[in-house]
Amino acid sequence: MNFWDYLGSRHQQLLADAYQHASAVFQCMVVATLLGVLIGVVTYRSDWAGNLATTATATLLTIPSLAMIGLLIPVVGLGVPPTVIALVLYGLLPIVRNAIVGLRGVDPALVDAATGIGMSRLARLARVELPLAWPPILTGIRVSTQMLMGIAAIAAYASGPGLGNEIFRGIASLGSRNALNQVLSGTLGIIILALLFDAAYVVVGRLTIPRGIRV
């Protein structure tokens, strides 16, 4: 069976796997973004705290994904839980780092002006600092998403959702007539999803970043 015939015969399963893959990455990115920005907000004013946050999240990223999921299985079991935990942890570094860089890069004169007109610290953060730091934060989100697209494929090792199941089935049946088709369809599916997500982020950037501060 050639590749196109395989896609035609398995398109419903492939679409279901692609949806699960995209959904898992999107939901984990939402959580990672909230946590990453929060960590950035808490630590950016202090050099040692910012360095600690960056180093800690960078250390998490050095753990091989297969090992991370393998370590989580005895604690949280198979399926979605180890997938979600691993993806959120892996997604933190670019967001934390870019949030700290973005917040530290805000012009102090603008913060002083906001203070001068009576804004509270929370109001300055929400209305001045975070909006100006949004471009680098969005860049961090884009980088994290691209990373997680590939890492999410390893979730199939723990019976997780997504296109990784197609890849693992192909690897497990090497030598069979559809082994290469399975690996190729899963891989191409992940690449297409990554490109679609990145295109969506470009649109988000156009809609949310004022032209004057686009980089």
Q: How far is CA 152 from CA 43, 79, 125, 163, 212, in A?
A: 29, 12, 33, 8, 36
Q: Contact 208/132 with Cβ under 8 angstroms?
A: no
Note down pLDDT in tens along the chain; length 215 residues: 678 888 888 889 899 999 999 999 999 999 999 999 999 999 999 999 999 999 999 999 999 888 998 888 888 888 788 889 999 999 999 999 999 999 999 888 888 888 888 888 888 888 889 999 999 999 999 999 999 999 999 888 777 788 998 998 888 887 788 888 889 999 999 999 999 999 999 999 999 887 766 55
pTM of the model: 0.89
Alpha helices in the chain (DSSP H): 3-43, 47-62, 65-76, 80-104, 108-116, 121-124, 130-151, 164-172, 179-208
121: Cβ–Cβ under 8 A, 6 or more apart, which residues? none
Q: Contact 41/125 with Cβ under 8 angstroms?
A: yes
Q: What is residue 213's predicted lDDT score, i.e. its pLDDT?
A: 63
Q: Contact 156/189 with Cβ under 8 angstroms?
A: no
Q: Contact 87/69 with Cβ under 8 angstroms?
A: no
Tokens 């907000």 sit on residue: 41
Q: For the packed helices 179-208 and 130-151, what is the interaxial angle rounded to 10 degrees?
A: 180
Burial of 5 (0-12, 13-18, 19+ CB in 10 A): exposed
Q: Contact 188/132 with Cβ under 8 angstroms?
A: no
Q: What is residue 15's predicted lDDT score, i.e. its pLDDT?
A: 93
CATH 1.10.3720.10 assigned to domain 3-210? The reply is yes
Nearest to 105 by CA among 187, 60, 40: 40
Q: Contact 98/139 with Cβ under 8 angstroms?
A: yes
Q: Contact 49/173 with Cβ under 8 angstroms?
A: no
Could you tell me the maximum CA-CA distance found in the chain, to the nearest angstrom? 72
Q: What is residue 29's predicted lDDT score, i.e. its pLDDT?
A: 96
Per-domain residue ranges of the chain:
3-210
